[in-house]
Chains A and B, each alone.
Chain A
């Protein structure tokens, strides 16, 4: 009996957290989404979301999140693979992780300086004769900075997955006649897929609701759902519409979670048979 009551005691911080910071905010967001700018009950916000303006916004949000995730993955997978082969892999990994400890805002501001009209990149362009180019407030700079921010989060789960892979499986595949590429396709990639999925999760979902990087690097354009929410709450003061977008954002997140969820096949996800 005593055991049961202590267990209930341990449950308090968790339940308090979940109720206060997960359930209550979501409930509030849903609640606010049902009121228009004058405080009258309405479903108009939901109707408005399905107008071309917001659908386009959603599409562009997904498109940018997709590009950011894709480039992060393309850079992170080979990097993670290479890292597992190095001698002091934990050290090299740490060097990649360290920048992610620095405040996101600081790093973003640093890029304003780097990409700016008088920044080092434009100075270099001028020196080699290309001339000063507009870098800030472009799609390129937005995606570049976002990828830079997300790469450590993509590398970490993939690194762990590759690191746990039993090297004998690669030998076995080669032994059975597979070329290095076939081995990658049929053994390494399927067995590290869980790491890739985790990486996609921690990149794609936050990328969907980016607004700060968008503001600072991509300029005053409303191109993602994140910026749209910010706009509705802070500029237009239309909390109802802002909440509605947030509701959809939460729904999208659940759908993505479902798609990238971990399938436990046979329980031996790390590829060790022992």
Chain B
């Protein structure tokens, strides 16, 4: 923990003109050798952060540090950072070998070393033997690998990945998720990955920064963010969720859907208005007399690994249920859940306050 962060943003803002602000006073730190994901809907500013780190744009205010040194004005060619672009941005006039060798040639590295390093990089991404292919002869997945090889061959401190999987089909995308994660662990480099796909983010990251409207809404490990979303936006964006209004009666007791429930949250004001999140997979189907909630099944979809049920309680709240058990549409069923499944979210709580409150009552074994 004494290690200094590799990247530090200090109150960084980016405005293109008076009205439109893309990033608002963002501050964060990134540690060396971890897999970070910037996750958010399009236009949230995640690619802007990437471009600021790469050096393609300069911040309007604030300071960006790399290894403790300010790099606001350092041009991209003098930064030890390489990017895998969204559409790969491979040079169409060069073949695979020369694309990967591009950075090394600029550094005037000896031909023998260039050859060795390019071959090594291509082996890393399973593309040995493709050296003399033209880019136009490569498939989407292969181009993706060339782009990765072109970045890692320069041995940069940080590799930036700008939605590199978005152009691939589902099967290839899942495969590349494994490969990227494995690659990052083998190289031990810092990866900063930008995506709007929450599954990608959850599967690959050491740490996720959830962004919205030019701000970082929540940061943490995938499990933290999934289990303890800070607000409605994060809960909704990361996975499916049931969100209902409620009131915190006192510590460990919450009221929603017309009933009082035992819960694990504490540290809130008595009778404070809150929102409650329950993940669909935490709801279990049972008989109406044994359920904590009684709902009517509206629709049922078969999703392969589970059934997805859309149900409504008497107050008209929708409850999404993921269950391996089947139900009948129109039936009344009971829903059972553990006190741990209830996640209480305060309205407009800042991330610092949220973390402090969580730490105050969290039992050690719950913190994964």
Contacts and interface: CB of A to CB of B under 8 A. Distances in A.
B92 A171 contact: no
- Interface size class on chain B is 20 to 34
Interface residues of A, number: 27
Contacts of B270: none
A172 B85 contact: yes
Contacts of A173: 91, 102
Given A168-B89, A169-B89, A191-B92, A266 B135 contact: yes
B37 interface: no
A172 B89 contact: yes
Interface in B25-68: 54-56
Interface of B: 54-56, 75-78, 81-83, 85-93, 102-103, 106-107, 134-137, 143, 150, 154, 167
B53 to A, nearest CB: 11
Interface stretch (A155-163, A174-182, A210-218, A227-235): A174-182
Given A177-B154, A266-B136, A273-B135, A171 B93 contact: no
Contact of B92 (A175, A182, A186, A266): A266
A255 to B, nearest CB: 25
Given A171-B76, A176-B77, 5 more contacts: A169-B89, A171-B85, A177-B107, A269-B92, A270-B92
B89 A176 contact: no
A175 B106 contact: no
Nearest to A271: B92
B77 A174 contact: yes
A172 B92 contact: no
A175 B82 CA distance: 6
Contacts of A191: 91-93
B111 to A, nearest CB: 17
A176 B81 CA distance: 8
B143 A273 contact: yes
B66 to A, nearest CB: 14
Which of A168, A186, A273 has most B Cβ within 10 Å? A273
B83 A171 contact: yes
Contacts of B78: 177
Nearest to B51: A171
A166 B87 contact: yes
Interface in A232-273: 265-273
Nearest to B75: A174
Nearest to A265: B93
A265 B85 contact: no
Contact of B90 (A171, A177, A267, A273): A273
A173 B134 CA distance: 18
A272 B91 CA distance: 9
Contact of B87 (A178, A182, A269, A274): A274
Contacts of B54: 171, 175
